[in-house]
Amino acid sequence: MQDDNREARYRVLWPLARIDIPAPVAAQGLPDLSGKTVAELWDNIFRGDVAYAQLREHLRARYPGIRFVPFSEFGNIHGPRQRDILDALPGRLREHGVDAVISGIGA
């Protein structure tokens, strides 16, 4: 048995790595959605089609003139063409005159 008092010591290096994050761009909020255009983004899972249909009705009841661009316009944002869809997304949002975005469902 090795004497504990003579046990070797180890000076060890940090096993993680530097976090490298570009400075984020902040978007302004929209306090009133009346007359605004809202885009729906969906990953085709977790009953999002049902949730979006209900949300549309609730939001229309509160905000006159609100308009929706349905998720079907953008494709599956978590599917095989996710990268292409996300690359094209800013342009597609501009085309539709979108003012705000709801994205779901998951994480």
Interface with other proteins (CB under 8 A): 7-33, 39, 41, 43-51, 54-55, 58-59, 62, 77-80, 83, 86, 89-90, 93-94, 98-107
Q: CB-based contacts of 92: which residues, under 8 Å, 6+ apart?
A: 73, 74
Cα–Cα distance between 68 and 56 in angstroms, integer?
A: 7
Give residue 81's identity as a one-letter amino acid code: R
Q: How far apart are CA 80 and CA 95, in angstroms?
A: 23
Residue 54 vs 64, nearer CB to other proteins? 54
Of 35 and 86, which CB lies nearer to other proteins in the complex structure?
Answer: 86
* Least distance in angstroms from the C-beta of 80 to other proteins: 4
Closest CB to other proteins among residues 1, 20: 20
